[in-house]
Amino acid sequence: MKRSARLSVALHALVHLVDKPEAITSTILSECLMTNPVVVRRVMGELREAGIVSSAKGHDGGWRLTRAPGEVSLQDVHAALGETLLLRAESDPGDTACTIVRTVDRVMTDFLADAEALLAARLKRISLADLARNSAHDHKTIPGV
C-alpha cells in the first residue's frame, strides 16, 4: 500500500507561505513542490476548509495563511487532511468469522489508535513557525521533537 504524501505536500506549501505578504499561486507552489498544480489545489482546498489558508482568484490571487504560523500546529494540518499517519493492515474480509482474526484485528486496531494518539500529541507540540524556522536553519532541531 502506497503511503500518502499529502501531509508533506501541505507542510511544504505552508512553509512557503510563512512571512509572505503576497498570495502565492498553485502553479508557483507546484513548481516549488515539484508536483502538479491540481495536487496543490486539492490539498490547499482542504486546508482552506479548516481555516488555515485562504484563496483568491484573479490578478493578485493565490494562497495566503489566515492564521499566524505560531498558531498552526502540525496536528492542525494533519487533522485538516483527515488522514491517519499509520498504515492499517486489514484482514481478508472472508476471514471475519474466525475468532482469531477478529481478536487480532481488535488488538491491532486498539494498538494503532494508541499510536496515532501519541503521534498526534507530538505533532501538536510543533508549530508551522517552528517548521519554517528550522527549514531556514536546517542544522537546528525543532522544539518538542
CA 65/CA 68 separation, integer angstroms: 7
pLDDT of residue 11: 96
* Residue located via cell numbers 508549530: 127
Q: What would the pLDDT profile of 29-74 be if each residue is shown by its tens digit? A: 999 999 999 999 999 999 999 999 999 998 889 999 999 999 999 9
Mean pLDDT of the chain, nearest integer:
86
Q: What is the CATH number assigned to the segment(s) 6-136?
A: 1.10.10.10
pLDDT band with cut points at 50, 70 and 90 for residue 88: low
Checking if the pLDDT of 1 tops 60, the result is no
Cα dihedral 140/120/74/47 (nearest 10):
160
CA 80/CA 49 separation, integer angstroms: 8
CA 72/CA 135 separation, integer angstroms: 16
User: Contact at 8 Å (CB) between 33 and 63?
Assistant: no
Query: Cα 115–85–99 angle (5° rounding)?
Result: 60
| Residue 13: closest CA among 27, 21, 2, 108 | 27
